[in-house]
Amino acid sequence: MLAIIIFFLGHWYLSLTFQTLYLHRYASHGQFQLSLWQDRLMHLGNLIFQGSSYLTPRGYAIMHQAHHKYADQAKDPHAPGYYTNVLSMMISTAKTFISIVDGKHELNKEFVSFSRDWPLVEKIGTSWPYRIGMGAFYFFFYYYFAPNPWWFVLLPVHFIMGPVHGSIVNWCGHKYGHRNHDLGDKSTNFIGPDIFLMGELLQNNHHARCMSPKFSERWFEIDPGYGILVTFSALSKIFGKKFEIENPVPRRPLVPDLVQERPSA
Ligand SMILES: [Zn+2]
Ligand SMILES: [Zn+2]
C-alpha cells in the first residue's frame, strides 16, 4: 500500500512542479530565463513526469496567455462561468488544446511561447505509442503493488494528471476563495487546497501581477512553487551558474497586454 501512496504522491507533485514552473511561470509568462540546456532539461522532466498526459510548452503557453487576456470572457479557453460542470469545461479545454497543437486554432496567430521548441520531443510526447506506453507503466505498477482492486480507481488520475491539475486550478481558482485585487475577472485565491497545487490556486494575485514569479502576497498565502525557484536561484549563486529570479533581464514584451501589471484595488 505504501508503494502505491508514494507512487501517486510522487507523480502528483512531480507532474505539478513541471507544470507550474516550466509550462506556466516560464513558457507562458517568461517570469525567469533559462539557458538552452536548462530549458531542454526542464522539457525532458515535463515529458517524463507528465507522462501519458504530456502537454507541449508552446500549446500550453498559447492557451494560457489567451486565458489571461480574455479571463472569464467568451474567448477565455476555460472560464468556469460558461460551463455547468468541471467535466464539460475539461473536455472543451482539451479540444481547444488539440486544435492549438495541430496549428489550426486562431489563437496561434495571437500568442507565442517563451520556451524554445523541441520538435522531436514534442512529437514523441504527443504520439499514441508514448501515451499508451506510459499508461501501461502506471497500470502495471498498480497491478504489482496495489493490495486490492479498489486502488485502481486512482489510475485515471495518472492517465490525465496534467489536465486534472489544470481543471482544478481553472475551476476553483475562478470560483472559490478571497480576492486581494478587484480585477475585471472572477479570479480568486483559494487557500487551504492551494497547498496541494503548489501555489497555482492563488489566481487572483497571479492575474493582478502575472509577470511576478511569486503568487503569494499575504502572510497566510503559501506559494511552494516560488519556494522552489528561490532555492534554485540561491543554489545557482553558490555554483556560479546563471539563474536569476530577483532581477529578471528586461525584455521586449511579446504580449504587451500580459506584461503590464494591473493596479490593485
Ligand atoms: Zn486564471
Ligand atoms: Zn498565468
pLDDT, tens digit, 9 for 90 and up, residues 189-242: 999 888 899 999 999 999 999 888 999 999 999 999 999 999 988 888 888 777
| Domain membership flag for residue 264 | no
The set of long-range contacts for 90-95, using a CB threshold of 8 Å and a minimum separation of 24, is 90/163, 90/167, 93/63, 93/163, 93/166, 93/167, 93/170, 94/163
Task: Report every protein residue that has its C-beta within 5 angstroms of ion ligand 1.
Answer: 203
Residue 161: exposure state from Cβ atoms within 10 A (0-12, 13-18, ≥19): buried
Q: What's the number of domains the chain is made of? A: 1
Helices (H) and strands (E) in the chain, counts: 11, 0
Is the pLDDT confidence value at 256 over 60? Answer: no
What is the domain range of residue 61? 2-238
Q: Are 233 and 249 in contact (CB under 8 A)?
A: no
Centre of ligand 1 to C-alpha 203, Å, is: 5
> Is 246 a domain residue?
no
In this structure, how many other beta carbons lie within 10 angstroms of the beta carbon of residue 95? 12
Q: Is residue 255 part of a domain?
A: no
Q: How far is the CA of 78 from the centre of ligand 1 (A)?
A: 9
Task: Summarize pLDDT for 67-126 with one digit per residue, the tens.
Answer: 999 999 999 999 999 999 999 999 999 999 999 999 889 999 999 999 999 999 999 999
How many angstroms does the Cα of residue 147 sit away from the middle of ligand 2? 40
Q: Which three cell numbers stand for residue 45?
A: 522532466
| 209 alpha carbon, closest ligand | 2
User: Does 76 reside within a domain?
Assistant: yes
Is 43 contained in some domain?
A: yes
- For the segment 6-39, what is each residue's pLDDT rounded down to a tens digit? 999 999 999 999 999 999 999 999 988 888 989 9
Predicted local distance difference test score (pLDDT) of residue 265? 42
Ligand 2 centroid – CA 36 distance (Å): 22
Closest ligand to 185 CA? 1
Is 191 part of any domain? Answer: yes
How big is the CA angle at 245 (ends 242 and 248), to the nearest 5 degrees? 90
Question: For the segment 36-51, what is each residue's pLDDT rounded down to a tens digit?
Answer: 989 999 999 999 999 9
Q: Which ligand is nearest to the CA of 23?
A: 2
pTM, 2 dp: 0.90
Give domain status of residue 115, yes or no. yes
Confirm whether 262 is domain-assigned: no
Q: d(Cα 109, Cα 3) in Å, to the nearest integer?
A: 46
- Cα(145) to ligand 1 centroid in Å equals 37
Report the pLDDT value the prediction gives residue 252, as an integer from 0 to 100: 42
